[in-house]
């Protein structure tokens, strides 16, 4: 009856206030859909509940209201169908890079032979450019390399939906650029559906098909859904020359600076969120 | 050659040792040749002649004799130092391993479940400060065997540090790692074995190290009480014989063995350590 790969309807997260004071609503009435193979980025100020939405999609957190439906089934609890790349990498420090990946591969396909698991894991580590570092422990890897291991671990399990919580937040600009390009490469090959949180407007434009903009919390909303109408394949050096690049960028920045505050105050409007915004190519 | 700190400290250690033993040797005065005893002194059993703490040379000589034949057995009151230490190490090992067998799983349970933590914590807090030797009379009455009672005392004193450290380590495993296990749909048992155990292992090993240290302290006292065999009994027996050289030598050996026990666990701890 529905044709969307992932549907989020009326999602809300709130915490009970102390004593009899009213509850604190982090965000409410979050509605959006994701199609198969789409790359979605979410941008919003700190505290608007981006990470909470991601954790609910991952099944690590529970919503106070609303549903998440993936493949026509309601999401409850974590699952290997939804891979997560955490902001702080979350590698197991007593395992080598390779063992961190085999850990996931083995969990995904327990019936596989040792050789097959190893072969599969090696392949994904090579794919993120970690040739020669397979046997190093996370403590012997740089921040960028750790995040690559984490990405390899997530992609290796071939989840139906990949959730990334500010994966490049802790990296320097140069490393970030390199890994973004690698991410595009892997994503193009695997046609994975990705839901990613970022703070970086340029990163969002470079990577995503659609950008969800969240207004400020408390009572945050997913206010706008902006289509990134720039053709692929995209390169960081080329997209800035595209006519839509600055139109979209200005729209996003304007939202973050000016309009993100207003949405939550604008209770009377009662318009259905998010507003769909498309700039013609 | 003498520029590394390690070498310099080793050299300084030797200098300090020689200095200490030299002073000790120097202040020792051999008992003067006793003049013929008066009738009164004879009646008093020559009590004016003091026993003196023997000099290091005498202790080293005794030590050499003892260590060149550590395992002789000439009846219940005359066994080599190796045999006595062996008994003590055996009791400590058995009591310690039994304690680990219980403390680590229970610690896991307490660490993983706030409910169990709340339920068991009052017991642990009351039991922990009890001197292990206070259990001895009760143990002797119930078990009716001094050997097993000594092991029980070791068991009861090693269980608490291991239990508390395991619980602490398990409860403080980083949430991210547990989330990794959850997103990979690991079962509870697999999560415990693949994520929580390796993450908490360094803390657990620290608990084990504290436990074996305490166990080695307690066994000496326990053996003084139950008697029969063991290094604690040996020290007390040599005191009764007023053989002070033997007492001092045993004290030294207790220190050496304790150090080795600690080193063994420190070495084991290196296997499970990880850097974040």
Which residue, among B72, B73, B94, has the nearest Cα to B222 in the 3D structure?
Answer: B94
Question: Can you tell me the distance from the alpha carbon of A121 to that of A106, in angstroms, rounded to the nearest whole number?
Answer: 10
Per-residue confidence (pLDDT) for residue A203, from 0 to 100: 92
Percent of residues, chain B, with pLDDT higher than 70:
91
CA distance A91 to chain B (A): 7
The residues, any chain, with a CB within 8 Å of residue A132's CB and separated by 6 or more, are none
CB contact under 8 A, A139 and B198: no
User: Could you tell me if A271 lies within 8 Å of chain B, comparing CB atoms?
Assistant: no
pTM of the model: 0.84
Whether the CB-CB separation of A216 and A45 falls below 8 Å is answered with: yes
pLDDT at B33: 58
Mean pLDDT on B45-60: 74
Task: Tell me what the mean pLDDT of segment B196-217 comes to.
Answer: 96
Q: What is the C-alpha separation between A42 and A221, in angstroms, rounded?
A: 12
Q: How far apart are CA A51 and CA A261, in angstroms?
A: 19
pLDDT of residue B182: 93
Give the per-residue pLDDT at B50: 62
Q: What confidence score (pLDDT) does residue A271 get?
A: 61
pLDDT band at B35 (very low <50, low <70, confident <90, very high): low
Question: For A226-239, what is the mean pLDDT?
Answer: 86
Q: Is the pLDDT of residue A272 over 80?
A: no
Q: Which residue of A has its CA nearest to B182?
A: A78
Interface of chain B against chain A, CB under 8 Å?
176-177, 179-180, 182-186, 194-195, 198-199, 272, 274-276
pLDDT band at B32 (very low <50, low <70, confident <90, very high): low
Residue B205 above 60 pLDDT? yes
A157 near B CB under 8 A:
yes
**What is the reported pLDDT for A83?**
92
Band (A262; pLDDT cuts 50, 70, 90): confident
- CA atoms in the 13 A half-sphere facing the CB of B71: 2
* Whether residue B36 has pLDDT greater than 70: no
Say what angle helices A143-156 and A173-190 make with each other, to 10 degrees: 10
Distance CA A81, CA B55 (A): 76
pLDDT tier at B220, thresholds 50, 70, 90: very high
Q: Which A residues, 110 through 139, put their C-beta within 8 Å of a C-beta on chain B?
A: 137-139
* pLDDT mean over B224-230: 89
A134-157 pLDDT per residue, tens: 999 999 999 889 999 999 999 999
Mutate to test the interface with B, among A78, A79, A80, A121 (most CBs of B within 10 A): A78
Tell me the ipTM for this assembly: 0.86
Do the chains contact at A94 and B180, CB–CB below 8 Å?
no
pLDDT in tens, B83-137: 999 999 999 999 999 999 999 999 999 999 999 999 999 999 999 999 999 999 9
- Contact between B184 and A59 using a beta-carbon 8 Å cutoff: no
B266: number of Cβ within 10 Å: 12
The order of strands in the sheet holding A39-43 is A82-85, A161-165, A193-197, A39-43, A210-214, A222-227, A275-278
If one looks up domain B80-275 in CATH, what number appears? Answer: 1.10.3720.10
Residues of A in contact with B184 (CB under 8 A): 80, 103-104, 107-108, 157
- A92: pLDDT strictly greater than 60: yes
CB B155 within 8 A of CB B219: no
Residue B6 has pLDDT above 70, yes or no: yes
Do residues A61 and A33 lie in contact, with contact meaning Cβ atoms separated by under 8 Å? no
Res. A258: pLDDT tops 90? no
pLDDT of residue A72: 86
| Distance (Å) of CA A45 to CA A39, A245, A253, B266 | 20, 22, 11, 48
- Chain A residue with minimum CA distance to B201: A94
pLDDT at B2: 57
Q: What residue spans define the domains of chain B? A: 80-275
Q: Is the pLDDT of residue B142 over 60?
A: yes
Tens of pLDDT along B235-273?
Answer: 999 999 888 999 999 999 999 999 999 999 999 999 999
pLDDT, mean of residues B208-236: 94
Query: How far apart, in whole angstroms, are the C-alpha atoms of residue B52 and residue B58?
Result: 12
Residue A102 contacts B, CB cutoff 8 Å: no
- The Cα B125–Cα B127 span in angstroms is 6
Band (pLDDT 50/70/90 cuts) for residue A47 is confident
- Rounded Cα distance, A119 and A132, in Å: 15
User: Could B186 and A93 be called an inter-chain contact, meaning their C-beta atoms sit closer than 8 Å?
Assistant: no
Report the pLDDT value the prediction gives residue B269, as an integer from 0 to 100: 93
Asked whether the beta carbons of residue B184 and residue A157 sit closer than 8 angstroms, the reply is yes
Count of pairs with CB atoms under 8 A, one residue in A, one in B: 53
Question: What is the rounded average pLDDT for all residues in chain B?
Answer: 90
pLDDT score of A35 more than 80? yes
- Which stretch of A225-234, A253-262, A272-281, B233-242 has the lowest confidence by average pLDDT? A272-281
Contact of A109 with chain B, judged by CB distance below 8 Å, is answered with no
């Amino acid at each position: 009856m529905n044709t969307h790969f992932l549907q989020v309807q009326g999602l809300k997260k709130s915490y009970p206030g102390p004593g009899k004071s009213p509850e604190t609503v982090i965000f409410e009435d979050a509605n959006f859909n994701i199609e198969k193979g789409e790359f979605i980025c979410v941008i919003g100020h700190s505290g608007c509940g981006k990470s909470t939405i991601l954790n609910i999609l991952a099944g690590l957190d529970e919503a106070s209201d609303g549903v998440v439906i993936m493949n026509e089934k309601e999401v409850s609890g974590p699952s290997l169908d939804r891979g997560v790349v955490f902001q702080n990498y979350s590698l197991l420090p007593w395992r080598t890079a390779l063992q961190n990946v085999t850990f996931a591969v083995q969990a995904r396909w327990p019936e596989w032979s040792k050789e097959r698991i190893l072969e599969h894991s090696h392949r994904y580590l090579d794919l993120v450019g970690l040739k020669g570092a397979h046997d190093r422990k996370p403590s012997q890897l740089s921040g960028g390399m750790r995040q690559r291991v984490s990405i390899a671990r997530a992609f290796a399990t071939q989840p139906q939906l990949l959730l990334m919580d500010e994966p490049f937040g802790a990296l320097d600009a140069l490393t970030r650029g390199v890994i973004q390009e690698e991410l595009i490469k892997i994503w193009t090959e695997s046609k994975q559906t990705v839901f990613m949180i970022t703070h970086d407007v340029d990163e969002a434009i470079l990577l995503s098909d659609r950008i969800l903009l969240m207004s400020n919390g408390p009572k945050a909303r997913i206010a706008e859904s902006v289509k990134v109408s720039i053709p692929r394949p995209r390169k960081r050096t080329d997209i800035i020359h595209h006519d839509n690049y600055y139109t979209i960028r200005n729209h996003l920045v304007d939202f973050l600076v000016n309009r993100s505050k207003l949405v939550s105050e604008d209770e009377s409007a009662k318009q259905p969120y998010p507003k769909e915004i498309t700039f013609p190519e | 050659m003498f520029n590394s700190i390690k070498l310099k400290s080793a050299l300084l250690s030797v200098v300090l040792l020689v200095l200490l033993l030299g002073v000790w040797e120097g202040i020792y005065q051999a008992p003067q040749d006793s003049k013929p005893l008066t009738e009164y002194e004879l009646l008093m059993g020559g009590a004016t002649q003091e026993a003196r703490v023997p000099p290091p040379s005498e202790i080293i000589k005794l030590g050499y004799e003892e260590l060149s034949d550590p395992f002789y057995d000439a009846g219940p009151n005359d066994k080599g130092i190796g045999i006595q230490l062996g008994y003590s190490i055996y009791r400590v090992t058995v009591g310690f391993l039994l304690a680990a067998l219980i403390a680590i799983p229970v610690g896991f349970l307490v660490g993983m479940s706030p409910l169990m933590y709340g339920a068991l914590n009052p017991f642990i807090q009351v039991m922990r400060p009890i001197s292990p030797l206070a259990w001895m009379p009760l143990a002797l009455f119930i078990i009716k065997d001094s050997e097993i009672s000594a092991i029980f005392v070791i068991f009861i004193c090693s269980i608490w540090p291991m239990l508390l450290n395991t619980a602490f380590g398990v409860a403080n495993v980083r949430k991210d790692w547990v989330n990794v296990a959850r997103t990979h749909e690991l079962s509870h048992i697999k999560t415990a074995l693949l994520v929580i155990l390796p993450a908490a292992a360094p803390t657990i090993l620290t608990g084990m190290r504290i436990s074996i240290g305490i166990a080695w302290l307690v066994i000496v006292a326990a053996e003084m009480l139950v008697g029969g065999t063991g290094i604690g009994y040996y020290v007390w027996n040599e005191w009764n014989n007023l053989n002070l050289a033997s007492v001092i030598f045993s004290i030294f050996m207790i220190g050496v063995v304790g150090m080795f026990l600690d080193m063994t666990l420190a070495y084991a701890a290196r296997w499970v350590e990880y850097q974040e």
